[in-house]
Each structure stands twice: as C-alpha cells, then as structure tokens.
C-alpha cells in the first residue's frame, strides 16, 4: 500500500520477520521511491531484489506480498536502522541524524533466538547499528555474525555488479 511522502520526513516500514529468521538485513532508511510505493527496495535500479533473489529464489518479478512472504520463509528478516528522520531526497548523506529516531532493533534481535547474522545494506546502516544498537545487545552480540555489505542503492555505483554479487553471497552461508 502506497504511503504519502512527506518532503521533510522519511519513515521506515515495519519489520519483516518470519517464524525463524536467520539473517536480519538492515538498511538505513527507505528512499522516496520506496516510500511512495510502500515497498522495501522499490526503486527499479536498486539491486536488492536482484542480489538477494539470486541466492534466495525471490524474484523481483513476483508480486511484492509474495516476495515478502518468500523472504520470511527463507529465513530473511528486513528492517531499517532509522525509524524516522528529516531527509531531503533519498541519499543516506542527506539524512539529518540530529532529527533521527531509531527502530528498536535490539529488542527484535534479543527476541529472535534463531537469528545468526545481521547484514548491513551499506556503510550507513553498519555505522548506525554499531553506534546505536550493538551496545544494547550485551552477550547476544558475540553470537551474531555482522556482515557489512555494499549498498544496493543506485547511488552506490563504485562497485561492479559482480563485486556486489560476491559480497552479498555471504548471506547464503547464514541461511544454509
């Protein structure tokens, strides 16, 4: 379901968490196209569905609800570190972090005994997680594999598709 886009504030979606998640993929904050569509990674040039689909069998061509259902069934959870913030445009560099409120990712992780890894879709998500969430995890942090992955955003074009595929393949190790 599409959500209105407020020019001054961006808000994340609810988390996707199935019955037994093994990998939590965290982004920073959805971009304008995703917010308008009401869908994670809706920008047609965002590589998320292509990269994750290659390893999970979840195709961009599937209806969105089916993609989400299939990801959850495969053990993949999705969320964003930032719950809400001022951000003109869609770039992570435009997030006004002084206005940011963060999602309660620590509670989600602590409630999911099956979770093995947290994967970061880009450096901003990794940095925010390390600063905001990791200190709250206590001993649970030692049981998680943290995977810093290159951003799937079309704005992150410094790596080739092949290099991104190789990096994102590390998620498969956590699912099998």
pLDDT score for 29: 87
What global pTM score does this model have? Answer: 0.90
Write b or e for each residue in 131-143: b if 16 or more Cβ atoms lie within 10 A of its Cβ, otherwise e: ebbbeebeeeeee
Tokens 């979840």 appear where?
58
Q: Where are the domains of the chain?
A: 9-175
pLDDT tens by residue, 63-113: 999 999 999 999 999 999 988 877 776 666 666 777 878 999 999 999 999
The Cβ of residue 66 has, within 10 Å, a number of other Cβ atoms equal to 12
- Cα separation, 30 vs 102, whole angstroms: 13
Cα separation values, 99 from 48, 125, 156, Å? 27, 16, 24
Q: What is the pLDDT of residues 102-112, one digit of tens each?
A: 999 999 999 99
In this prediction, residue 174 has a pLDDT band, given cuts at 50, 70 and 90, of: confident
Looking at residue 14, what DSSP letter applies?
A: P
Task: Give ∠ CA 146-58-130 in degrees, rounded to 5.
Answer: 15
The pLDDT value recorded for residue 91 is: 65
Residues 123 and 121: their CA atoms lie apart, in Å, by 7
User: What mean pLDDT comes out for the span 6-31?
Assistant: 89
Catalytic (active-site) positions: 46
Average pLDDT value for the chain: 88
**Fold of the domain built from segment(s) 9-175:** Uracil-DNA Glycosylase, subunit E (3.40.470)
Q: What is the mean pLDDT of residues 153-167?
A: 83
Cβ-Cβ contacts under 8 Å for 97 (sequence gap 6 or more): 85
From the list 87, 112, 113, the residue with the least C-alpha distance to 27 is 87
- pLDDT classification of 31: cutoffs 50, 70, 90: confident
């Amino acid at each position: 379901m599409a959500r209105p886009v407020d020019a001054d504030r961006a808000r994340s979606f609810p988390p996707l968490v199935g019955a037994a998640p093994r990998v939590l993929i965290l982004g920073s904050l959805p971009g304008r196209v995703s917010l308008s569509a009401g869908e994670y990674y809706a920008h047609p040039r965002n590589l998320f569905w292509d990269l994750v689909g290659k390893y999970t069998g979840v195709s961009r061509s599937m209806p969105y609800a089916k993609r989400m259902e299939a990801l959850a069934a495969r053990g993949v959870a999705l969320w964003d570190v930032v719950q809400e913030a001022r951000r003109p445009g869609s770039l992570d560099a435009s997030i006004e972090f002084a206005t940011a409120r963060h999602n309660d990712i620590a509670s989600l992780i602590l409630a999911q005994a099956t979770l093995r890894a947290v994967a970061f879709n880009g450096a901003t998500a990794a940095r925010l997680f390390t600063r905001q969430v990791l200190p709250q995890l206590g001993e649970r942090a030692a049981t998680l594999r943290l995977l810093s992955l290159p951003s799937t955003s079309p704005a992150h074009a410094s790596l080739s598709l092949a290099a991104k595929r190789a990096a994102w393949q590390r998620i498969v190790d956590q699912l099998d």
